[in-house]
Amino acid sequence: MKTRILALAALVALGSTQVWAQTNNISSVGITTGVVTVTARIGPNSQPAGPPNNSSLLVGNNLAGLAYAAGNIPGAADTSISFFTLTGATLPGGAGNPLDAFMSYGTLIGPPAATLNYPDVAPLLTADSYLGLTFAATDLYPGGPAPLTANGFYMIHRNLTNGTDYLAGIVPATGGGSAVLNIKPMAWTGGVAATGASVVAGTNHYFALAFAVPTPAGPYFANNFYYLRTDASNHTQFGYVIPALTSGFLDTLDLNTATGGFGATGYTTLAFSATAIGGYAVNQFYYLRLDAATGYTVLGRLDTNPANRTLSDIANLGGVYSGLTFAAEATGTGAGWGTNQLYATGTRALTAQSVSFAAIADRTFVGDVPFVVTPSASSGLDLVVTVVSGPATVVTTGPALARVHTVTTTGPGVVKLRATQSGPGFDTNYLEQSFNVLGLPAMTSATTASATAGTPFTFSLTATGNPILSFAATGLPANGLTINTTTGVISGTPLAAGTINVTGITATNATGTSTPGTALTITVAAAVPAPVVNSTLTASGTVGVAFSYSITGTNTPTGYAATGLPAGLAVNTTTGAITGTP
């Protein structure tokens, strides 16, 4: 965890000209359709000032996780709705550096309450790293050990001695009754935790953890933990961990190559919402990632439904934020902060505001079909929209503060747009959105191929305009060759020599079907008779004297073989020469 914090600071210094004191407000992140509003709620920079007792816990601490709990925690002192965190300020522990602290930010309904600490938790944490704090009110493993029972906090424990990441839990309780324990390694191979089953090598570096009660879309399950980790190729992997002690982990999505990701990196944390917010569907994951170009944190959405666009940045938050959680209940003093809010820990830069840019659906290219994009900035300033790359143009019309940004695609490809705050000092804060422009397919495969009668043959049709939904071809011989319309592979065994003219070759995608391309001409040569050995079938040699013999055959042999050779002799399978010293 310590190295992650240092890397974060370095990126901020290099990627932005903004300089500000790093504090950790708890800020609400409200999402309405296409607009994100960040409001500091608790901490030294809260607007308006939050409970003053929280400030000392926030200033200067890099928080290692943020978790939200609705309702009372049995055996604990807090009541109603609270936020909890790991400070991550002293990693690893040691002389003069107390271990990670675990604390509550206090009840946020009704009058501000004193911050609640669980002093017996810190001595239970080893001098390692703890991150990715989350909360589960569900009984995950009936009859299993605490904290797999209901109302437990969970986190990633990185053992700095053996380099292993563990799923760990905290059960906070008053009167010195808290418990902290490792449940099992994150990279788990099966078996029972008590027997110390092995860890999959090279699969650690987990850094974000979220708990989902309902089932996310796709090959997933309810009441599971979902994670982010960095793999050996420095790609960010999304996957899940089943709480049962005999179940392993599974990577399911590479965020660097997922649709909408376009190689984005810098992910820092993960949260789950079972509620539809800001026009997005239910059961969505939300992420934070540090954008190296601007030095600010970007909020985005991860949709696990394979039929949808997987990743989508939603807003550049104009600051650096490290923790993220979701609260469906009405939160804040007098429930004044509203319902269905994301909450983040961090601080906005002094001159930057959040820039929101709703995801742009992939489009099909049929002529020029203009459409309007409507990014926004919390500052209320004008936004400049430009094309970073790809086949499109942008025309901005209308008066200040009422601009209309019209995008016209000019061909198929991947388009990247950038929305930037206008005005002095604001041009370092922007957000980019990418989308695919899908055009009619065009065949790109070769128009000639060679085959031999009686010999298996394979040829692959290819086309632009991915994803291709189907291929078609006519003129294939009734016996011998067929086409797989899904993959475009023509295969089989031609039966006779001659010429096969394959016509009607097309590919179809979501836009439509390509114009039939040039015919594929397959020239089928006659089958070549099997070779017959015509070299002499006897030869003489002398023990201890070098020997040489050549196998020859009719019909141009392409390889040779021999068995039963005595010790000292060997056959060259390419030339047919038998040599050596018997």
Q: One digit per residue, pLDDT tens: the chain, 582 residues?
A: 222 222 222 222 222 223 333 456 788 999 887 688 888 887 665 544 444 334 444 444 557 788 988 766 655 555 556 788 876 543 333 333 334 566 666 545 444 444 555 667 777 887 778 889 999 888 776 665 556 667 788 999 888 788 888 888 888 776 677 888 888 888 877 655 545 556 666 677 899 999 998 888 877 888 889 999 998 888 899 999 888 766 778 888 888 888 777 667 889 999 999 999 988 889 999 999 998 888 889 999 998 887 777 888 999 998 888 889 999 888 776 677 888 999 998 887 776 678 888 888 888 777 667 999 989 887 777 889 999 988 999 999 998 878 899 999 988 888 889 998 876 655 677 888 888 888 888 899 999 999 998 889 999 999 888 778 899 998 888 778 999 999 999 999 998 889 999 999 999 987 889 888 788 999 999 887 889 999 998 998 899 999 999 999 998 898 999 999 999 999 999 999 999 999
Cα dihedral 326/328/330/331 (nearest 10): -10
Contact 342, 29 (CB under 8 A): yes
Q: Count other C-beta atoms under 10 Å from residue 327's C-beta.
A: 23
Q: Rounded to 5 degrees, what angle do the CA atoms 433, 134, 26 make?
A: 65
Per-residue DSSP letter, 513 = B
- Quick one: 248 exposed, middle or buried, by C-beta within 10 A (0-12, 13-18, 19+)? middle
pLDDT value at residue 394: 96
Contact 290, 312 (CB under 8 A): no
Has this prediction a pTM greater than 0.85? no
CA distance 55 to 175: 25
Contact 354, 378 (CB under 8 A): yes
Task: Name the token pair of 280.
Answer: 């997005």
Q: How far is CA 174 from CA 30, 370, 553, in A?
A: 34, 62, 91
**Which long-range contacts link 73-77 to residues 24+ away (Cβ below 8 Å)?**
73/151, 73/172, 74/150, 74/151, 75/171, 75/172, 75/173, 75/174, 75/177, 76/118, 76/172, 76/173, 76/174, 77/116, 77/174
What residues have CB less than 8 Å from 312, skipping those under 6 apart?
A: 260, 300, 301, 303, 359, 433
